[in-house]
Structure 1
């Protein structure tokens, strides 16, 4: 009987030591705050373009289909067969949008782009693209992301871009992807797998820089208005 009590006490002691070690490790381990992956919310419909243009509106100044499925072509989707293709021609204006309802969460817009460009002008005054939120009833246009399309920003395949949407949670807006090219050396922007996720926190350093291209994108947006979006003050 005394042996059984001794064995039971030893088991309890081992359990206590293991739990104490785990708590100590959790307290001393370095903490990283990154967007919580895998907690996708059904906010963006048909974000992978697998059902064609369903849920999206699109505009091309040159009449190109923005949403396409070209599995046998060099321009391919990141996943599945559908993707959006902006640019591709001189003096092109391309736009892709849908209305979304943002829930009351800490939110991250996550999407993937592939940039192909022979243009050496990376000032943003030549070819430029980005993401906008249009709050039409409030006459407010917000630049979420903006970047030049040029040789130095060209990507080897698809790369991820992240945007913090938390300041706009609980509101309805038009999510719009835009691309503009000038009169020479046209760039191509491929977009795929657009999603909005709930996140425990957002690491601003993980997001791609927007400045100084924000104002350049807004200027192009107001200069060449797609027939959709309502004109609104910039922000």
Structure 2
């Protein structure tokens, strides 16, 4: 069998579904093909000639804004989940907002659609009860309707990356924007590291 790293953990395990199965006669049977419709979800395409700095811009398939005037797509192998690039949201230690987004279309014939990404939260906050700095994961439809899938914060600080997954099959047949919104308050930095973003669609 030929296998595809569906869950994005850089390893082939039983969690990964066979994409193609070879029969004993040598024929190839397509079994529920799965496609990642996010482009450059590991950010290894780099800056695509765009700037490291500014209040907004387009870096390859990603669009971003930053009140701190820094492109969140960054090269830092020590912080990336894999490779050398990641999306580094916030981490300034003062009031600041970063956004990162990409628009995709989920086929109307999709039988499964799963958004996943790896997230690591590093914070200087010491509270164990108050979310001072936040990262929202949102889906925005072409009509402008916004669904917030999850909100992470300084309370989700971890020593390593954690994979987050969401079922987006309810958005099949629609063009949607996947958006990350990071917001910091006036003191004590929190960084949200995002890597290996994927939207795996089956049956399209």
Flag whether TM exceeds 0.5 (same fold): yes
The residue number in structure 2 matching 1:155 is: 158
Corresponding residue to 2:42 among 38, 42, 48? 48
The residue number in structure 2 matching 1:95 is: 99
TM superposition shift of 1:164: 1.0
Corresponding residue to 1:111 among 97, 106, 117? 117
Gaps of 5+ in 2: 1-13, 20-33, 47-58
TM superposition shift of 1:125: 4.7
Give the structure with the higher percent helix: 1
Corresponding residue to 2:173 among 170, 175, 184? 170
Q: Distance in 2 between matches of 1:92 and 1:42?
A: 31
Tell me how large the CA RMSD over aligned residues is.
Answer: 2.2
Gaps of 5+ in 1: 1-34, 201-235
CA contact (8 A) 1:37 1:199 kept: no
The residue number in structure 1 matching 2:27 is: none
Secondary structure in 2 aligned to 1:161? strand
Give the structure with the higher percent strand: 2
TM-score where L is the length of structure 2? 0.72
Change (3 A) 1:143 1:171: same
TM-score where L is the length of structure 1? 0.63
Greater gyration radius: 1
* 1:145-203 Cα distance to aligned partner (Å, 9 max, x none): 212223xx211121110111111112101110111010111100000000112469xxx
User: Across the two proteins, how many residue pairs are aligned to each other?
Assistant: 160
Change (3 A) 1:100 1:166: same
The residue number in structure 1 matching 2:186 is: 183
Q: Distance in 1 between matches of 2:181 and 2:149?
A: 11
